[in-house]
Amino acid sequence: MHSIPTYLVVGAGFSGAVLARELAESLPVRIVVVDQRDHVAGNSHTVRDPRSGVMIHAFGPHIFNTDSERVWKYVNAFGTFRPFVNRVKARTARGIFSFPINLHTINQFFGTTFDPSAAREFVAGLGDPTITVPANFEEQALKSVGRELYEAFLRGYTQKMWGCDPRELPASILRRLPIRFNYDDNYYEKRWQGIPEDGYTAIVARILDHPRIELRLGQRAGRDASGYDHVFFTGPLDAYFDHALGRLGYRTVAFERIDAGGDFQGTALINYTQPDVPWTRIHEHKHFAPWETHESTVAFREYSRETRPGDEPYYPKRLHRDVVLLRGYREAAESTRGVSFLGRLGTYRYMDMETVIGEAIAFAADVVARRRDARPPRVFPDSPA
């Protein structure tokens, strides 16, 4: 080992970058951060498009939203976040509507003029009263909004997004989606919402800009951790073990670029809910930076599909088979010395940026506390003490 303790952090996304920065500021250590890509920020990578000048979210839209003042202050210490409200539209067989389902959606869809109280009573009457405890996504939808709204807004999109029948998905997925009985069309309900003026990649680059951090891009790190006092792995948990137990299920996305003059769709995001339309949504990126002006525009059709070897994993499916595999991989990780796993891929959880950052800050603090007591870091952020 080195005379100065040296940590290896695998992955230069938010999880790895925040962890590295917090450890570098709290401990007399050397930290090497490696990433197989040629850029930092992982799937939140942003880049200025040379044709249009538009800031592109290279791996799909990322809107920062949080209720945590600590996390909000943390990211703003590394760059300026401009306010941004995500107003999603849904294109259905009957037209384009506001989404998530809100009072405007209900009145427009049914041709009514309900006030909040009347709309709540009306939607309650649409729900299936025979479903007491929803066992899956479809039952949760039928209980909450009834067959007509489910078919128009949720069933087709969900099938395309997850590549399976909604009856195979847990009810908890839909519980995260609000139904509003007012005219609030903000997709999120968090206190702070915004997008960095200079893009996410600039934010992560500044987080990693510390004299105790050495960044190595375009370099793949395997299981050989020789020369390091500890490894913090933020890549896919199953990949670390060479998929020895099988591959955890993920959905990935592919993009089809659309170049146009002026304005292509008039808003940042439109979901396509019809099952016979192959893409899930179209995002037009200049609308993610309304403070900028561009003569031309660029948009992307987004397609969801199963992750194959070599693909970037996006959304953990966490079906029954995956949960069983995950238990096996966690047991393997717990018996592996000198390695910790964190982040969306390392823990196989769907996590927003705010959750990733908050957990990395807390995990770093725990590492520091344990070092004072001469104890090794935990294997997972949620591991018991």
Give the CATH number of the domain where residue 230 resides: 3.40.50.720
Q: Does residue 22 sit in the same domain as residue 162?
A: no
Full 3-state SS string of 238-261: HHHCCCCCCCCCEEEEEEEEEEEE
- Among candidate residues 67, 220, 350, 375, the one labeled active-site is 350
- Among candidate residues 38, 51, 176, 308, the one labeled active-site is 176
Q: Does residue 129 sit in the same domain as residue 225?
A: no
Average pLDDT over residues 96-108: 97
Tens-place pLDDT, residues 6-52: 999 999 999 999 999 999 999 999 999 999 999 999 999 999 999 99
Please report whether residue 93 resides in a domain. no
251 classed as catalytic: yes
312 vs 345: CA distance, rounded Å: 11
Q: What pLDDT, on the 0 to 100 scale, is given for residue 383?
A: 62
Q: Does residue 229 sit in the same domain as residue 358?
A: yes
Q: Does residue 230 sit in the same domain as residue 128?
A: no
Q: Does residue 165 sit in the same domain as residue 224?
A: no
176 classed as catalytic: yes
Distances (CA, A) of 307 to 19, 35, 230, 249: 27, 20, 30, 7
Tens-place pLDDT, residues 345-381: 999 998 999 999 999 999 999 999 999 999 999 999 9
Average pLDDT over residues 78-90: 97
Q: What pLDDT, on the 0 to 100 scale, is given for residue 263?
A: 96
Tens-place pLDDT, residues 118-159: 999 999 999 999 999 999 999 999 999 999 999 999 999 999
- Among candidate residues 30, 91, 281, 378, the one labeled active-site is 281
302 classed as catalytic: yes
- Among candidate residues 21, 155, 180, 378, the one labeled active-site is 180
247 classed as catalytic: no
The count of structural domains within the chain is 2
Full 3-state SS string of 29-87: CEEEEEECCCCCCHHHCEEECCCCCCEEECCCCCCEEECCHHHHHHHHCCCCEEECCCC
Q: Does residue 344 sit in the same domain as residue 216?
A: yes
Q: What mean pLDDT value characterizes the chain?
A: 95
Domain containing 142: what range? Answer: 101-175
Q: Does residue 357 sit in the same domain as residue 225?
A: yes
**pLDDT of 221 over the 90 cut:** no
191 classed as catalytic: no
- Among candidate residues 30, 251, 344, 378, the one labeled active-site is 251
Question: Do the Cβ atoms of 232 and 340 come closer than 8 Å?
Answer: yes
Q: Does residue 341 sit in the same domain as residue 233?
A: yes
Q: What pLDDT, on the 0 to 100 scale, is given for residue 385?
A: 45
- Among candidate residues 151, 214, 229, 352, the one labeled active-site is 352
Q: Does residue 167 sit in the same domain as residue 227?
A: no
Please report whether residue 191 resides in a domain. no
pTM over 0.85: yes
Token pair, residue 156, equals 């087709």
